[in-house]
Amino acid sequence: MHTLEHAENLLAEEQAIVQMAAKNRGAFEIANRSDTRGPAIRSGNDKLFDPANPTYAMQCLEAIPHLIEMQLVRQAGGPKRFELTNFGWQLSRNLTAKQEEELAMTAARPTAAEVAPVGNIQMTSPIGRPATEPPPAASPLEAVEDCTIPRSEEAVSESPTMPPVAAPDPDFDPPVPMAGPSPSTTLAPSAIPSAPTPGPSATPPDFGGKAKTTDKSLVAALGLDNGFLPPEPRSLEETGLSGAVIEDLILKVVQNAGSMTGRQVAELICLPLPILEDRFTVLRNRQHIAPTGSAMLGDYVYQLTDKGRERARLAMQDSAYTGPAPVPLEDYVDSVEAQTIRSEKPKRPQLEEAFSDINVEPEMLAQLGPAISAGKGMFIYGPPGNGKTTVAQRITRCFGQNILIPYAIIEDGQIIKLYDAACHERVGSQLSNLLKTHEHDQRWVRIRRPTVVVGGELTMDSLELKHDPVSHISEASLQLKSNCGSLLIDDFGRQRVNPTELLNRWIVPLENRIDYLSLANGKKIQVPFEQLIIFSTNLEPHDLADDAFLRRIPFKIEVGAPSREEFVKLFGIFSKKLKVSCPPDALEYLLARHYESCNRPLRRCQARDLLDQALHYCEYNEIPPVATPEILDHAVNNYFTAMAGTE
């Protein structure tokens, strides 16, 4: 028999989802609307959103995969629509009964004023079994309390049995009624219809006291790992673009291809076909394009006319851009504010996971942790070869979450290319693969939080928009490309630009979190400056900047030389990684003969580099990969001969 016990082990957010769905015919959806400033769970007229706690809506979204795993909820009617299973209905009924019991006990006690009220959320019938009477009035959903619901097997056996709940068919897409019941109607508790109870053969979900663990891949597949998800535009006005901009883009892509169907154009410029159909009609009426054949589903194959080619030529002279349609600058600014790295606040577990593939001493993590959590700039300095760059490149991993950026931005008719495959790592959307649908604006691409690394090639021009006078397309500056991520200035002080000039360029942006860039037409635009700036240098910070700038870079982390114990540990790590055996006596010989006898300082990179030399020596001489003292002597002679002094 299936029993629902220990329901108090469900999180409060999970209970809230189940009860809100039950109050609205068992269905709910994930919607992105302005009143919740991002995606939130909605059902009828209700939503799980707390203005005083901006993270509450995301916590509820993250609870959905766990409910699916426990077979309380399943997908239905669309990629972001869900419904209760039989188990979910049973849990909702028990939660409602328990709350009514607690309310009755509270009313009987004279100190009831001291007890926090519990939301009275009634359950209606499941989908496909509409209630014969009006449902109860809506009540607050955010105050759902944990409760224990013991349930006997005899009570379950009295309910009508149903066949086991099957896994949802991804190809089945029935309409799910999302309209909520009228809040002006009520339903007596005695008239509440009973939800179906699972039969004896159903596999019960686990309601034990196990810790809640959410499958990260499932979270990503449901699209719940995005704090910002722009909805797909439904009209020309919602794109933020003028009809002329879209028409020019259509003409340029059709000219480049020779002929294209309407759907091919829509996929290339990342706009819904219904929006483009009006543009196609306008262009046909103006005799700029002409259909040359029919395509599937009422579509047409289009080619440019002579007038269309002339207009496309003029559009190419203004801007040769032919990629996805750009988004307005103000939309990009809103996205950076919603996805800023400063809102993440990673803790110790995130740091340990980000640095799990390299050896970092606990003392170093204790220094890095507060600096990373603060989301402010930092200097990482110390002798060369000790892993400053490696540490800096892994800092962005602590923040974890993927973000969305537009392929291109438009402001005052000027197009700025933002997405750069050299700086941004695109993340494939499992949502589109699993559910065969696109619900967010396809002009935005999902990437990992960027880590933009620049070294000695950095110039002042890299910090400004780069305008191509031939194509009339601007490329985003390094600051824009690194927004919501990290900007690593590696080997700081060795650039062709003077360090003081570079630091002075960033004093105001670091203070105000905004920057000012110039368009090709001379117009100044204000853009967000929301990234973690990391300066990695072999020099002392005070030798590179004055106190006025160092005050704006509050964290200075020194990466010193490794201890003897850490160096031995690194040899063991790289010995396994490179599959080169290094006997303890050979390692002791190396340290005594080539380090301690000549006071040569230890460097973290040397364990890897010396073993790599030994491996190549063994491969060339066709001998087993064993780092003997003789082979280590050969590696040291090759590695240190050209280095000055004791280095």
**DSSP class per residue in 36-54:** GTEEEEEETTEE---TT-T
Q: What percent of the chain is predicted at pLDDT more than 70? A: 76
List the one residue out of 429, 80, 440 whose CA is nearest residue 272.
440
Convert the pLDDT of each residue in 244-254 to its tens digit: 999 999 999 99
The mean pLDDT of 198-203, rounded to a whole number, is 40
Q: What is the mean pLDDT of residues 582-597?
A: 91
Largest CA distance in the chain: 92
Please tell me which residue, 69 or 607, carries the higher pLDDT value: 607
What pLDDT was estimated at residue 288?
95
Contact 613, 635 (CB under 8 A): yes
Contact 28, 63 (CB under 8 A): no
The full 3-state SS of 449-460, as one line of letters, equals CCEEEECCCCCH
- Helix, strand, coil content of the chain in percent (nearest 5): 40, 15, 45
DSSP H or E stretch at residue 516: strand 514-518
Continuous segment of H or E residues that includes residue 226 = none
Tell me which residue of 547, 549, 505, 545 sits closest to 529, measured CA to CA. 505
For position 251, what pLDDT does the model report? Answer: 95
Tens-digit pLDDT profile for residues 56-92: 888 888 889 888 888 888 887 666 889 888 888 888 8
pLDDT given at position 78: 66
Token pair of 108 as six digits: 């009987």
- Min mean pLDDT across 201-215, 310-324, 450-464 is at 201-215
Q: Assess whether pLDDT exceeds 60 at residue 278.
A: yes
For 277, the 3-state DSSP assignment is helix
Can you give the pLDDT at residue 439? 66
- d(CA 136, CA 123) in angstroms, rounded, equals 8
Residue with tokens 């209760």: 84
Contacts of 452 (CB under 8 A, 6+ apart): 423, 478, 481, 482, 485, 486, 487, 488
Exposure b/e, 493-525, CB count within 10 A at least 16 = b? bebeeebeebbeebeebbeeeebebebbeeeeb
pLDDT over 90 at 417, yes or no: yes
The pLDDT assigned to 227 comes to: 61
HSE value, Cβ hemisphere, 13 Å, CA-based, for 354: 22
Structure-token match 């999970």, residue found: 14
38 close to 227: Cβ distance less than 8 angstroms: yes
For residues 316-345, give the mean pLDDT. Answer: 90
CA distances from 297 to 232, 273, 303, 372, 585 (A): 21, 12, 19, 52, 75
Which tokens is 283 given? 């262009």
The CA distances from residue 616 to 263, 344, 435, 611, in Å, are 55, 44, 49, 9
Which pLDDT score, from 0 to 100, does residue 362 have?
A: 83
Domains of the chain by residue range: 7-221, 238-325, 329-558, 564-640
Instruction: Indicate the burial class of 601 (C-beta count within 10 angstroms; 0-12, 13-18, 19 or more).
Output: middle
Backbone φ, ψ for residue 640 (5° rounding):
-105, -5
Q: 61 near 30, Cβ under 8 Å?
A: yes
pLDDT at 334 over 80: yes
Helices (H), 362-498: 362-374, 388-395, 430-435, 478-482
- Among 77-86, 218-227, 344-353, the range scoring the smallest mean pLDDT is 218-227
Q: State the pLDDT at residue 316.
A: 94
8 A C-beta contact, residue 402 and residue 448: yes
Find, among 321, 315, 256, the residue nearest to 475 by Cα: 321
What mean pLDDT do residues 112-141 have?
40
Task: With a cut of 50, say whether residue 619 has pLDDT above it.
Answer: yes
pLDDT-wise least confident of 266-270, 307-311, 331-335, 369-373: 369-373
Cβ neighbour number for residue 254 with a 10 Å cutoff: 24
pLDDT category, 279, cuts 50, 70, 90? very high
- Does residue 543 register a pLDDT over 90? no
Dihedral sign of CA atoms 474, 426, 448, 354 in order:
negative
What is the tens place of the pLDDT at every residue in 136-163?
444 433 333 333 333 333 333 333 333 3
Count of Cβ atoms closer than 10 Å to residue 116 Cβ: 7
Cα-atom radius of gyration of the chain, to the nearest Å? 31
Two structure tokens written together for 515: 């920057």
Close Cβ partners of 575 (under 8 Å, ≥ 6 residues apart): 581, 582, 611, 627
Q: Mean per-residue pLDDT for 255-265? A: 93
530: which 2 tokens? 């929301």
The three-state (H, E, C) secondary structure of 341-386, written as one string: HHHCCCCHHHHHHHCCCCCCCHHHHHHHHHHHHHCCCEEEECCCCC
Q: Give dist(CA 20, CA 41) in Å, integer.
A: 10
Task: Report helix, strand or coil for 91.
Answer: helix
- Pairing label, strands 555-558, 378-381: parallel
548 pLDDT above the threshold of 80? no
Buried b (16+ CB within 10 A) or exposed e, 140-157: ebbebeebebebeeeebe
CA distance 628 to 630: 5
Mean pLDDT of 117-142: 40
The amino acid that residue 72 corresponds to is L
| pLDDT higher than 80, residue 9 | no
Q: What pLDDT shows up at residue 162? A: 38
**Per-residue model confidence as pLDDT tens digits over 285-294:** 999 999 999 8
Percent of the chain scored above 90 by pLDDT?
32
Element (H, E) at 147: none
**Which residue carries 């991520």 as its tokens?**
485
435 vs 75 pLDDT, higher one = 75
In the CATH hierarchy, which fold is given to the domain comprising 329-558?
Rossmann fold (3.40.50)
| CATH pick for 238-325 out of 3.40.50.10490, 1.10.3720.10, 3.30.200.20, 1.10.10.10 | 1.10.10.10
Say what the pLDDT of residue 474 is.
Answer: 94
For residue range 451-492, what is the model confidence (pLDDT) as tens digits? 898 888 888 888 999 999 999 999 999 999 999 989 988 888
* pLDDT digit string, tens, across residues 364-409: 888 888 888 887 788 888 888 888 888 887 888 888 678 999 999 9
- Measured CA to CA in angstroms, residue 126 lies from 25, 74, 130, 403 at distances of 5, 13, 7, 36
Please report how the helices 273-285 and 243-257 are oriented relative to each other, as an axis angle in degrees rounded to 10. Answer: 80
Token pair recorded at residue 398: 């602590």
pLDDT for 478 equals: 92
pLDDT value of position 8? 62
Residue 188 pLDDT: 35
Identity of the residue numbered 598: C
Tokens of 335: 């996205």
Pick the CATH number of 564-640 from 1.10.1760, 1.10.8, 3.10.540, 2.40.160: 1.10.8
pLDDT at 272: 93
**Helices 12-23 & 86-108 angle (0-180, nearest 10):** 100
| pLDDT of amino acid 615 | 93
Please name the residue ranges forming H helices in 70-147: 86-108
**How far is residue 458's CA from residue 496's CA, in Å, rounded to a whole number?**
7
